[in-house]
Amino acid sequence: MCIRSGATPDTVRYVHGDGHVHLYPQYDTGAFFRRGLGLARRFDAPLLLLLAEADGYDCFRALSADVESPALSGLSFERTAEPSSLRVRDKGRDGPGVFLISGRQLLSRENLEVLVIGLEPGHELYSSRPKERSTEELTRQGLEAGAITVLPWGFGKWLGERGRHVRELARRPENQLDPLFFLGDILARCWPWPAPDRRLAGTRVLPGTDILPLRGFERRLGEYGFRVRGRFHEERPSGSLVTMLRRRLPVEPVGEPDRPLRTIFQQLRYRLRARERRPGA
């Protein structure tokens, strides 16, 4: 794995991103990144993939090492000037790069997800035992560490007591004033559920796919995401995004959530597969 020498000057441009990315063993990893590179060429803009790795997954560290795999033939994974990002390149083609940004999906004591994105892979918050901490604690610690901190939408998770808890956190002045605090919208959030910003005025929203761990779903990468225009430095993609967000530059959605029938079909497929994997099923 090489470290690119020299610095790429700051450029004012649109940067596209998928704000909720998983890289599961069920995926064809080469197809996953080639899909990303194709999107970057289509957008004619850098594509940032904001990882939300759950406990037990550490794809960012694995890809940071020298990787030799037939599935990844023709791709290179290059370190940047910051430890929280990698650049993915197609060795045979020029064009805008894909940048993988480290991030973790932490499950709180209330069984709510908190995404903390852009910290160094070895950061204490990434390796802590999150279920011992409340959603409020994880949110505060993420923001204090300088991470992009997201409370993502999820089926059933914003209802009842947990939904009340999310609304309270989103309405807190200190969170609304923090430029790195977001609610997360996802591809599977469909009608009749309203978009998070319509329910909680004043809170910014970071869209992403949060695609399911089903074979072939790597092709859905980037179907729902965001774009922001600002100064971008290819050697510091994570830092560039954080700077844009701190300046409260507009975060525009790209794409839209799925239609209800597609969402229902995919959820049924996912739950049936999960049931088949259980012992004794």
Q: Digits of tens for pLDDT over the chain (281 positions)?
A: 333 433 466 788 899 999 999 999 999 999 999 999 999 999 999 999 999 999 888 899 889 876 666 568 889 899 999 999 999 999 878 889 999 999 999 999 999 999 999 999 889 888 766 678 999 999 999 999 999 999 999 888 888 899 899 999 999 999 999 999 999 999 989 777 888 876 676 789 999 999 988 899 999 999 999 999 999 999 999 999 999 999 999 999 999 988 777 777 677 776 776 665 554 44
Determine, yes or no, domain membership for 4. no
3-state secondary structure of 151: strand
- The answer as to whether 6 is a domain residue is no
HSE toward the beta carbon, residue 46, CA cutoff 13 A: 29
Number of domains in the chain: 1
Q: Are 168 and 183 in contact (CB under 8 A)?
A: no
- Domain extent, residue 100, equals 11-277
Distances (CA, A) of 190 to 85, 148, 154, 251: 31, 24, 11, 20
Q: Could you tell me the CATH number of the domain that includes residue 106?
A: 3.20.20
Q: Are 189 and 253 in contact (CB under 8 A)?
A: no
Which tokens go with 192? 């009749």
Note whether residue 269 is domain-resident. yes
In a domain, 179, yes or no: yes
Instruction: Write b or e for each residue in 187-205: b if 16 or more Cβ atoms lie within 10 A of its Cβ, otherwise e.
Output: bbbbeebebbbebbeebbb
The answer as to whether 5 is a domain residue is: no
Domain assignment of residue 213, yes or no: yes
Q: Domain for residue 3, yes or no?
A: no
Nearest-angstrom CA–CA distance, 155 and 133: 22
